[in-house]
Amino acid sequence: DIRIGVLALQGDVCEHLAALAEVGTEPVAVRRPEELDSVDGLVLPGGESTTMVKLAHRFGLLEPLRQRLTEGLPAFGTCAGMILLADRVLDGIAGQETLGGIDMTVRRNAFGRQVDSFEGPVEVEGLDGSVHGVFIRAPWVESVGPGVEVLARFGEARDMESAVGRIVAVRQGPLLATSFHPEVGTDTRLHRYFVDRLVQRT
Binding site for ligand GLN (CB under 6 A): 46-49, 79-80, 83, 108-109, 136-137
3-state secondary structure of 142: strand
In the complex, minimum distance from the CB of residue 49 to ligand GLN, in angstroms, rounded to a whole number: 3
Give the helix, strand, coil percentages of the chain, each rounded to 5. Answer: 30, 30, 40
Please say which residue, 36 or 106, places its beta carbon nearer to ligand GLN. 106
Please say which residue, 47 or 133, places its beta carbon nearer to ligand GLN. 47
In the complex, minimum distance from the CB of residue 48 to ligand GLN, in angstroms, rounded to a whole number: 5
Task: Tell whether residue 49 is among the known ligand binding residues.
Answer: yes
Task: Classify residue 106 as exposed, middle or buried by CB count within 10 Å of its CB (0-12, 13-18, 19+).
Answer: buried
Please say which residue, 49 or 172, places its beta carbon nearer to ligand GLN. 49
What contacts 16, CB < 8 A, 6 or more positions away? Answer: 6, 27, 43, 45, 78, 183, 191
Active site residue 14: no
Catalytic residue among 15, 16, 181, 191: 181
Task: Tell whether residue 158 is among the known ligand binding residues.
Answer: no
In the complex, minimum distance from the CB of residue 146 to ligand GLN, in angstroms, rounded to a whole number: 26
Active site residue 79: yes
For 16-85, list the strands marked E by DSSP: 26-30, 41-44, 75-78
Tell me the C-alpha distance between 63 and 194, whole Å: 23
Task: Tell whether residue 107 is among the known ligand binding residues.
Answer: no
Please say which residue, 40 or 106, places its beta carbon nearer to ligand GLN. 106
In the complex, minimum distance from the CB of residue 37 to ligand GLN, in angstroms, rounded to a whole number: 26
Q: What DSSP character marks residue 198? A: I
Catalytic residue among 14, 15, 149, 183: 183
Active site residue 97: no
CB 83 within 8 A of CB 99: no
The candidate with the shortest Cα–Cα distance to 77, out of 43, 114, 27, is: 43
Annotated binding-site ranges: 47-49, 108, 136-137
What positions carry a catalytic annotation?
Answer: 79, 181, 183
